[in-house]
Structure 1
Amino acid sequence: MVRWASSRYVVVIATRPPRIPMTDPAPSPITAAILVIGDEILSGRTKDKNIGTIADYCTAIGIDLRQVRIVPDEASEIVDAVNALRTRYTYLFTTGGIGPTHDDITADCVAAAFGVTIDVDPRAKAMLLERHKPEDLNEARLRMARIPAGADLIANPISKAPGFRIGNVFVMAGVPAIMQAMLDEIGPTLATGARVLSETIEAGNLPEGNYASGLGEIAKAHPGVSIGSYPSMTQQGFANRIVVRGKDSDAVARARVEIADLVAQLKAADGKA
Structure 2
Amino acid sequence: MTDATSASPTAPADPSAGEDGAVVTAALLVIGNEVLSGRTRDANVQVFAKTLGARGVRLKEVRMVADDKAAIIDAVNALRAANDYVFTTGGIGPTHDDITTDCVAEAFGRAVELNAEAERRLRHHYGSETINDARLRMARIPAGAELVDNPVSHAPGFRLGNVFVMAGVPRIAQAMLDTVKDGLRGGAPVHSRAVTAYIREGDIAEPLGAIQERFPAVEIGSYPFVRGERLGTSVVARCTDATLAEAVVADVANAMRAAGADPNDAEGFDPQSGAVAAFHDGDES
TM-score relative to the length of structure 1? 0.84
From 231, 240, 244, give the equivalent of 2:237. 244
Pairing of 1:2-151 with structure 2 (within 5 A): 28-134=22-128, 136-151=130-145
Unmatched tracts of structure 1, length 5 or more: 1-23
Q: Is 2:260 the partner of 1:262?
A: no
CA contact (8 A) 2:192 2:242 kept: no
Instruction: Name the counterpart of 1:206.
Output: 199
Q: Name the CA distance, whole Å, in 1 between partners of 2:19 and 2:88.
A: 24
Q: Name the CA distance, whole Å, in 2 between partners of 1:33 and 1:149.
A: 23
Q: Name the CA distance, whole Å, in 2 between partners of 1:151 and 1:26.
A: 32
Corresponding letter in the other structure for 2:71: E
CA contact (8 A) 1:95 1:174 kept: yes
Q: Is 2:132 the partner of 1:165?
A: no
Q: Which has the higher contact order (CA 8 A, sep 6+)?
A: 2
- How far did 1:241 drift? 1.5
253-262 vs 230-239, which moves further: 253-262
CA contact (8 A) 1:30 1:192 kept: yes
Q: Name the CA distance, whole Å, in 2 between partners of 1:267 and 1:219.
A: 21
TM-score relative to the length of structure 2? 0.81
Instruction: Name the counterpart of 1:5.
Output: none
User: What is the number of equivalent residue pairs in this alignment?
Assistant: 245
What is the aligned-residue identity percentage?
48
- How far did 1:27 drift? 7.2
Q: Is 2:147 the partner of 1:153?
A: yes
For residues 91 and 158 of structure 1, do their structure 2 counterparts lie closer, same or farther at Cα, with a shift above 3 Å needed? same
Unmatched tracts of structure 2, length 5 or more: 1-17, 266-285
Q: Name the CA distance, whole Å, in 1 between partners of 2:143 and 2:19.
A: 31
CA contact (8 A) 2:235 2:249 kept: no
- How far did 1:137 drift? 3.4
RMSD over aligned Cα atoms: 2.0
For residues 235 and 157 of structure 1, do their structure 2 counterparts lie closer, same or farther at Cα, with a shift above 3 Å needed? same
- How far did 1:163 drift? 0.5
